[in-house]
Structure 1
């Protein structure tokens, strides 16, 4: 992927992709809300929005790839791409930070308050209730469920994700060294590990839902567990799709040792997903 001479910006032609993406996001948000409320049309609207966004991703990123391969981007545009990815990952950090904050607030503040550690406060909140984490919450004390422990599936998934970070790093070094065979092998290994993580998490959800009676409506513990692990799983799915696309581009020779930000951007994202999972594994499954 060559760069244009000079330091100016490439100004693309008018595009309809942002408008279509807005429609897709609106449909996804509306459909997800309806689905969680148990409305019949929620799943269909969510599916429609998801389909629209898939088309947008394929078309919009395809345009960017073609522009990059045509040598239309300068070094300054490359810097802009890097800063854009940095701010995107920062927004993801804040996104997960909000859910971790909800988990910490519930465990360290709400549960002790409601359990009477401060009698002057608890009697105004929920009188005579005794709670300990994990809990479904006041009024749900008769709900029997078992929390998800760290062994075996979460531990296996942790090993899988950490290994995928290693194979991706090996592929990156191979790209910079011009070893195409090693690059492609490392990328497909990373894709396989990401896919294995998704399948095992799906099986973990099945076990939690059917055998542990741990569901999304199992009070504060169930909601925080599924919100944190579910959104992380969604990020792993997106990251795996990105890895597949980058792997195919590697096979077609789209990157060089000196110019491969498309690869680096996906690698940054995948390593971020790994780090988030380590936090989840410690604070959700172990502590």
Structure 2
């Protein structure tokens, strides 16, 4: 396949990306966001103000970056070879996220399976009252797994050319994701322990909190996909970004099943 680049023909199917400021801007914004989040936790003066400023710049730079990527699809830059590379990138990204959660689970089960004397040789440590896994945690599990079913329905509807099914399926998924996030916040607000209450509280809030963050990111991915479906951006054979968001969402579902022991 031949593409026209700057008035000249190229004899390969790969997309030569034009110079873009967004990777640099996003990196600086993310560094500023992380730095000021850490400073805010240590009560540095006015650091939370820079945290919110950095958060706005991260969202803004990523939105502009996504805009440029969307425009590449209309220019015909996303050939089959490019799509294969993007799919590989998505899979490697998900694998790296899985290894991140593996480290969290490792820390949790290291203490849970062999509690030390400092923990009272018992798990959960003395004074920690666990949440009932058959109440809100079970409801959240049903909600998240249901969202996996609705987004699968939306994906298959899009492939079959059923636009309404794709839209409604994605809408239901986003709604279920928002409900899940709300219920998790409620669970945190009524918890009898905090992140500073022994290794149990640290692993619990670190693991479930980062999972909640991934749910929020996945919700944004699917919301952007919904907007693109409504705007007739996606077709039954070209919806790579939407498909990547769906794969990410299924990853979030699977991780939650591994997070379930943290509620016990």
TM-score tier (shorter): over 0.9
Q: 2: distance between equivalents of 1:47 and 1:38?
A: 15
Q: 1: distance between equivalents of 2:110 and 2:40?
A: 27
Any gaps of 5 or more consecutive residues in structure 2? 5-10
Q: 2: distance between equivalents of 1:15 and 1:188?
A: 32
Does 1:216 pair with 2:230? Answer: no
Local SS of the residue matching 1:72? coil
2:182 paired residue among 199, 202, 208: 199
> What is aligned with 1:284?
262
Distance 1:219 1:205, change over 3 A: same
TM-score normalised according to structure 1 size: 0.85
Displacement, 1:261?
A: 1.1
Does 1:265 pair with 2:244? Answer: yes
> What is aligned with 1:250?
229
Displacement, 1:132?
A: 0.8
Does 1:149 pair with 2:117? Answer: no
Check whether the contact 1:30–1:45 (CA below 8 A) recurs between aligned residues. Answer: no
> What is aligned with 1:24?
29
CA RMSD of aligned residues (A): 1.8
> What is aligned with 1:120?
none
> What is aligned with 2:89?
84
Distance 1:276 1:61, change over 3 A: same
Does 1:101 pair with 2:106? Answer: yes
Displacement, 1:4?
A: 5.9
TM-score normalised according to structure 2 size: 0.92
Alignment of structure 1 residues 27-176 onto 2, 5 Å: 27-109=32-114, 111=115, 114-115=116-117, 130-135=120-125, 144-176=127-159
Q: 1: distance between equivalents of 2:194 and 2:45?
A: 20
Structure having the higher Rg: 1
Any gaps of 5 or more consecutive residues in structure 1? 116-125, 136-140
